[in-house]
């Protein structure tokens, strides 16, 4: 008897097979139609979205990095440009200054020369005047000494000769 | 410390006895109180151990109630007409008079009369013998017994739970929770983990290319049904539908049919003509082996799941039954001592069964995926072997597939033989 009942454990039951097949097919259909579709679809779309978001973020990051490096490059260039301009400005300023200085020096030189010439001329004039004065004085003195010995013209010549013989300075 | 532990174990023992053993005790004692007034080893084995593991036309809520399930019989009457007899319960079926109860034959005697008279039936009803015996039609014969059984009810219950969970979750996903925002709540997260696991670890690696999309719904349905049915097997008063060979057989046949319907030309060629590069005498030997192997694979699929679940419940009922056996053999004191050990083991086996519930659901699903994958696989032909490789990096060559099959089989046998029986 024991064996008879135990046998029922391993004997497939027709009714159960029948109902089970129907039930499982309905179960499968319901889940297929209303369950797994939305679930797996939603999960997949979410995964895709996450993936695309990550990709977008990576792309944005790469772009940002590129922009940053571009910016850096541009800034460096700008800096270099600024430096160049500054240097040029400095150079031109230096040039200008030098030019100005040269001009000034020239002017000073010129003025000096002019002044010197003036002085020379003045000196010459003064000397001439002095010479004339001295000659006159000498003549007057001599005439007083040697009255009537010499006419005025001859005495003047003598004195002049004497003065010329004097050292120039 | 140790006395405390013993006390704890006693309390657990009493609790689990109340949950698990109550039905067994009630069923066992009442059934035989009417028969011979005492417990016998036979009655314990039949009623406590096998009676609880086997299928039946009733739901056993002993000691509260026993709910009889509808009987549906497709029968051929004496004059040869096909009829469908529909009754609300086995009692109703027997009372109607068209059917009689086959008596338990004590000896190997001659043909005994089937029980139809009401006094004998009342006696059978009182001892619940009518639920364990066979019924036959008094005139004509039963073509098919399509009665609702407890394993069907548990199966339907498991399906109902799975449907309820996933139809509700599907609505959630449709609303956008989990699609555009993060999944919310324990249930959704827990289920999603398993769904993703089945998709990424079971379907995708075993089924070539993009074909897994076709079979994912089946694999998911099978997985969750088996898992839920297995877990129901741990619930007191319920049982595992998967511990019935008919249920696992239907599932395995579905896997088989899917493999046959979606089988690739290459697969059929390989199955009926043998490997193309083998000489013909070898092919003659290989074709039957291949055919038998294909059928056996699916048969083993059914038996593996069934045997594991049945084994687990048989162990539990045997451990509980041991208490009563000890009672019969050595008396009450010995039975009490045994109950402590029995209950300890029962708790251990229950925990093991919880593990096995998941493992077996996983094993069935991955083997189904593997078999379907073998069927639908298209072999790479020489001329475009390279692009096939390029577009399907996850797919395996046929050699690798059968290697994996062997490996999975080995792993399965190693992991899932908890039954020392």
Give the residue numbers spanning the domain of B141. Answer: 70-147
- Please say whether the beta carbons of B361 and B221 come within 8 A: no
Q: Is residue B270 part of a domain?
A: yes
Nearest-Cα distance to chain A for B100, in Å, is: 19
Q: Is residue B48 part of a domain?
A: no
Would the CB atoms of B144 and A15 count as touching at under 8 Å?
yes
Q: Is A168 helix (H, G, I), strand (E, B) or coil?
A: coil
Average pLDDT of chain A is 84
Same domain, B236 and B378: yes
For B82, list phi and psi in degrees, rounded to 5: -90, 125
Last residue of a domain, one of B100, B117, B147: B147
For B187, list phi and psi in degrees, rounded to 5: -60, -50
- Please say whether the beta carbons of B305 and B242 come within 8 A: yes
Would the CB atoms of B132 and A28 count as touching at under 8 Å?
no
Q: Is A31 on the interface with B (CB under 8 A)?
A: yes
CB atoms within 10 A of CB B307: 21
Same domain, B123 and B186: no
Q: Is residue B59 part of a domain?
A: no
Same domain, B340 and B205: yes
Same domain, B355 and B387: yes
Rounded to the nearest 10 degrees, the angle between the axes of helix B398-415 and helix B332-376 is: 170
For residue A166, what is the DSSP state?
A: S
Would the CB atoms of A39 and B170 count as touching at under 8 Å?
yes
Q: Please give the tally of structural domains in chain B.
A: 2
Would the CB atoms of A11 and B245 count as touching at under 8 Å?
yes
Same domain, B109 and B164: no
Last residue of a domain, one of B97, B121, B147: B147
- Which among A2, A35, A45 is the nearest to B167, CB-wise? A35
For chains A and B, what is the number of CB pairs under 8 angstroms? 139
Instruction: Please list the ranges in chain A whose pLDDT falls under 70.
Output: 1-8, 147-152, 168-169
Chain B 153-182, residues with CB within 8 Å of chain A CB atoms: 155-156, 159, 162-163, 166-167, 169-171, 173-174, 178-180
Same domain, B220 and B84: no
Same domain, B292 and B379: yes
Searching chain B, which residue's CA lies closest to the CA of residue A43?
Answer: B179
Q: Is residue B242 part of a domain?
A: yes
Q: Could you tell me which of B56, B54, B130 has the C-alpha nearest to residue B99?
A: B130
Same domain, B179 and B306: yes
Last residue of a domain, one of B112, B147, B182: B147
Instruction: Please list the ranges in chain B whose pLDDT falls under 70.
Output: 1-39, 103-113, 381-402, 404-405, 408-409, 411-421
Nearest-Cα distance to chain B for A40, in Å, is: 8
Mutant choice from A38, A48, A50 vs B, greatest count of B C-beta within 10 A: A38
Q: Is B152 on the interface with A (CB under 8 A)?
A: yes
The dihedral formed by the CA atoms of B122, B125, B129 and B132, expressed in degrees to the nearest 10: 130
Same domain, B282 and B386: yes
- Which among B162, B250, B310 is the nearest to A17, CB-wise? B250
Same domain, B210 and B258: yes
- How far apart CA B309 and CA B303 sit, in angstroms, is 10
Mutant choice from A26, A29, A41, A42 vs B, greatest count of B C-beta within 10 A: A42
ipTM score for this prediction = 0.72
- How far apart CA A150 and CA A159 sit, in angstroms, is 12
What does the pLDDT read at residue A47?
A: 85
Same domain, B108 and B198: no
Would the CB atoms of A16 and B152 count as touching at under 8 Å?
yes
Q: Is residue B187 part of a domain?
A: yes
Q: Is residue B37 part of a domain?
A: no
- Judged on CB neighbours under 10 Å (0-12, 13-18, 19+), A23 is buried
* Chain B hits for A15, Cβ within 8 Å: 72, 144-149, 152
Searching chain A, which residue's CA lies closest to the CA of residue B154?
Answer: A20
> With the C-alpha atoms ordered B11, B14, B18, B21, is the resulting torsion angle positive or negative?
positive
Q: Is residue B8 part of a domain?
A: no
Q: Is residue B26 part of a domain?
A: no
Same domain, B271 and B367: yes
């Amino acid at each position: 008897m024991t064996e008879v009942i135990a046998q029922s454990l391993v004997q497939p039951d027709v009714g159960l097979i029948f109902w089970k097949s129907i039930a499982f097919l309905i179960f499968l259909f319901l889940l297929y139609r209303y369950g797994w579709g939305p679930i797996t679809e939603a999960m997949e779309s979410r995964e895709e979205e996450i993936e695309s978001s990550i990709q977008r973020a990576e792309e944005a990051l790469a772009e940002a990095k590129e922009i940053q490096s571009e910016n850096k490059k541009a800034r460096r260039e700008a800096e270099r440009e600024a430096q160049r301009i500054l240097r040029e400005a400095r150079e031109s300023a230096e040039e200008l200054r030098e030019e100005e200085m040269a001009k000034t020096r020239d002017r000073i030189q010129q003025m000096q020369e002019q002044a010197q010439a003036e002085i020379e001329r003045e000196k010459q004039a003064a000397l001439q005047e002095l010479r004339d004065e001295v000659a006159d004085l000498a003549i007057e003195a001599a005439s007083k000494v040697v009255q009537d010995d010499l006419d005025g013209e001859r005495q003047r010549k003598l004195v002049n000769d004497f003065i010329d013989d004097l050292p120039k300075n | 410390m140790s006395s405390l532990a013993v006390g704890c174990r006693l309390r657990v023992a009493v609790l689990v006895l109340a949950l698990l053993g109550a039905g067994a005790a009630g069923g066992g004692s009442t059934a035989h109180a009417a028969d011979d007034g005492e417990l016998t080893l036979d009655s314990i084995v039949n009623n406590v151990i096998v009676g609880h593991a086997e299928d039946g036309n009733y739901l056993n809520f002993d000691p509260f109630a026993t709910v009889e399930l509808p009987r549906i019989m497709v029968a051929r009457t004496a004059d040869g007409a096909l009829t469908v007899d529909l009754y609300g319960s086995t009692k109703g079926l027997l009372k109607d008079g068209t059917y009689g109860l086959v008596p338990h034959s004590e000896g190997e005697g001659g043909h005994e009369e089937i029980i139809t008279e009401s006094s004998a039936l009342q006696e059978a009803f009182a001892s619940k013998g009518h639920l364990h015996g066979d019924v036959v039609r008094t005139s004509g014969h039963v073509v098919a017994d399509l009665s609702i059984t407890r394993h069907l009810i548990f199966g339907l219950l498991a399906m109902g739970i799975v449907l309820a969970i996933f139809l509700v979750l599907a609505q959630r996903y449709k609303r956008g929770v989990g699609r555009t925002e993060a999944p919310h709540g324990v249930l959704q997260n827990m289920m999603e983990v398993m769904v993703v696991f089945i998709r990424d670890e079971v379907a995708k690696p075993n089924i070539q290319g993009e074909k897994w999309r076709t079979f994912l719904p089946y694999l998911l349905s099978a997985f969750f049904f088996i898992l839920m049915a297995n877990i129901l097997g741990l619930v007191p008063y319920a049982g595992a539908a998967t511990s019935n060979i008919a249920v696992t057989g239907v599932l395995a046949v579905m896997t088989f049919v899917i493999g046959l319907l979606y089988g690739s030309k290459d697969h059929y060629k390989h199955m009926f003509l043998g490997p193309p590069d083998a000489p013909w005498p070898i092919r003659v030997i290989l074709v039957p082996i291949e055919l038998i192997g294909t059928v056996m694979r699916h048969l083993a699929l059914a038996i593996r799941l069934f045997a594991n679940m049945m084994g687990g419940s048989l162990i539990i009922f045997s451990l509980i039954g041991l208490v009563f056996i000890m009672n019969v053999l050595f008396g009450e004191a010995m039975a009490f001592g045994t109950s402590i050990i029995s209950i300890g083991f029962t708790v251990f086996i229950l925990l093991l069964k919880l593990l096995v519930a998941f493992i077996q659901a996983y094993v069935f699903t991955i083997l189904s995926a593997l078999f379907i994958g073998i069927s639908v696989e298209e072999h790479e032909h020489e001329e475009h072997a390279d692009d096939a490789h390029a577009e399907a990096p996850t797919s395996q060559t046929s050699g690798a597939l059968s290697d994996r099959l062997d490996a999975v089989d080995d792993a399965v046998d190693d992991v899932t033989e908890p039954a020392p029986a």
